[in-house]
Amino acid sequence: MLPAAADDDIVFRSDVSLARADAQVVDSSNRAITHLNVEDFVVRANGQPATVKNLVSEQMPVDVLFLLDVSSSMRPHVQRIANASDNALGVLGKDDRMAIMVFDRATRVRLAFSSSRQDVRREFDRLLHDERFNGGTDITRAMLDAADYIRNRGRHDARKAIVILTDDETEFNRDDRAVGRALARADAVMCALIAPNAMLNRGGYPGGYPSGGGQRRGGYGGMGGGGPMGGIILPRGGRPGGAGGGMGGGGHTQSAGTSEIAQDSGGDSMSVNDSSALEETLLRLRQRYSLFFSLPDGVKPGEERDTQVDLTSAARRRYPDAEVRYRRVSMTADGGSDSGPARVTRAPSDRDYSDPPPASRAPANSSDVPQQNPSRRRTPVNQDGSPVSGPDENH
C-alpha cells in the first residue's frame, strides 16, 4: 500500500483508475471523529475488497450549493440562514466555493460558484429583497436540478455538497430513487436544514412536525452503520394519514423525503432552528474523509456499484461506538463519463422550467403519474428564468 499523503498534498486527482468514496465518521454523541488514517478504513465495491490508496480530509476543497426554499412562509428561515452566514462561512477554506440556487415550483440560480464570502452574503440579502415567498413548492424537482447543476459546474477534484433549506412540504410526488441516482452521478452529498414549524403559518398541523418518531424505511441506497442522523429525522410520508397542511390556496402537500434523501447520500439532517445548524453543517463537510481506492476486478468504470465503507477492527477497538456514514450506491470513477440522465417520472419532458407546472405534473396524492422522456435533461434556470448555459467563469 502506498503511504498516506499529508492533508495538504492532495494526490491522485488525475488518476482515473481510482474511485473515491466520501464518508463521515461520528461517535455516539454525533460528534465528528477526526484524524483517522488510511489504515483505519476498509472499503468494498460490489462485495469485493478494494485497496485504499490514500485519503484526504479537511484540506480537500469543497463546492457547496445552497439550495433555498423560497415558497410561502419560508422567509424567516431564509433570513435565519442569512444572519448565520457571517460566522458559518468562516469555517470554509480559501479554496472552497459557494453557489446559491432558490426554488418554489421552479429553480433559479442566484449566484454561480464563487470563492467570495462577500458575494454570498450580499446575495443572501438580495434574494430576501427580490423573492416573493408566496409560491408553491416542488422539492423533488429542485433537488434534481441542484444535482444536475453541481455535477456540471462542480470541480472534479473537489468534494461536492448540496445544503438544502426547506420545510419538506411539497405539492408534488416525491422520487427518492431519482434524486439518489442524480446525487450519485454528481458525486455529491446532500445535507438538510429542515424548518419544522413553517407549516404553522400555512394553516398546517398544530405544533409543526411530529418529533422524531417513525422507523426509517426504504429510500435509495442506504448508509453504513445505521442509527439516527442527528437533528431531526422525519418519518416517511410526512404527516400522519398522508398529505400535509394546505398550501395557501388549500392544495394538498406531502413530505418530499428530504431528510431520508440526505441520510441516504451520507449527509446530515438538522433543524434550522438550531442556532449553529448552518455552521455545524459546513464544518462537517470539511471534516469528511475522501477515500481513494483501486477498482476491484470486474468493476468497470462508468457502472453503478455498491460501495461499503467501514472501520478496521483496530480502529473499531479505539472507537467502538463509531458510525460511518456514506452513500452505498455510487458511480465508479471514469474521468467524467455518465451512465445517462435521471429517469424522472414526475414531469413531462417538453416543459420549460420557467413555465408554471401543468396539470400533467402529478400533484401530491395523484395516482396518474406520467413518465418523463429519459433522454431529456432537467436544466436549472437563472434568476431571470433563462436556462443556465455556457461555462462557469469561476469553474
Contact status, residue 115 vs residue 155, Cβ threshold 8 Å: no
CA distance 368 to 366: 6
Same domain, yes or no: 169 and 297: no
Same domain, yes or no: 27 and 137: no
Task: Indicate whether 364 belongs to any domain.
Answer: no
Same domain, yes or no: 39 and 85: no
Task: Indicate whether 390 belongs to any domain.
Answer: no
Residues 6+ apart with CB under 8 A from 80: 272, 273
Same domain, yes or no: 254 and 317: no
pTM across the whole model: 0.71
Task: Indicate whether 316 belongs to any domain.
Answer: yes
Same domain, yes or no: 179 and 233: yes
Q: Is pLDDT at 362 greater than 90 in this prediction? A: no
Task: Indicate whether 345 belongs to any domain.
Answer: no
pLDDT in tens, 32-82: 999 999 999 999 988 889 999 999 888 889 999 999 999 988 999 999 999
Residue with cell 435521471: 342
Same domain, yes or no: 299 and 258: no
Q: Please enumerate, as own/partner, the contacts of 212-219 that have beta carbons within 8 Å and a separation of 24 or more.
A: 216/260, 216/263, 218/176, 218/260, 219/176, 219/180, 219/257, 219/260, 219/261, 219/263, 219/264
What CATH number did the domain enclosing 86 receive? 3.40.50.410
Task: Indicate whether 4 belongs to any domain.
Answer: no
Task: Indicate whether 117 belongs to any domain.
Answer: yes
Q: Is pLDDT at 211 greater than 80 in this prediction? A: no
pLDDT of residue 272: 93
Q: 14 or 107, which is more confident?
A: 107
Same domain, yes or no: 154 and 98: yes
pLDDT in tens, 248-272: 334 588 999 999 999 999 998 999 9
Same domain, yes or no: 154 and 256: yes
Other Cβ atoms closer than 10 A to 294: 16
The count of structural domains within the chain is 2
Task: Indicate whether 300 belongs to any domain.
Answer: yes
Q: 13-22, 280-289, 298-307: which range is least confident on average?
A: 13-22
pLDDT of residue 251: 57
Task: Indicate whether 246 belongs to any domain.
Answer: yes
Same domain, yes or no: 140 and 271: yes
Greatest mean pLDDT among 210-224, 299-313, 330-344: 299-313
Q: What is the mean pLDDT of residues 337-352?
A: 31
CA distance 152 to 134: 30
Same domain, yes or no: 125 and 233: yes
pLDDT of residue 324: 94
Same domain, yes or no: 29 and 126: no
Q: How many helices (H) and strands (E) does the chain have?
A: 7, 16
CA distance 99 to 395: 11
CA distance 84 to 74: 16
Output Rg (C-alpha) for the chain, integer angstroms: 20
Domain end: 285, 301, 316, which one? Answer: 285
Contact status, residue 344 vs residue 371, Cβ threshold 8 Å: no
Q: Is pLDDT at 279 greater than 70 in this prediction? A: yes
43: phi then psi, degrees, rounded to nearest 5: -125, 135
DSSP state for residue 330 in the 8-state scheme: E
The number of C-alpha atoms within 13 Å of 322 and in the hemisphere containing its C-beta is 23
Same domain, yes or no: 118 and 223: yes
> How would you classify the pairing of strands 304-311 and 48-50?
unpaired
Range of the domain at 115: 62-285
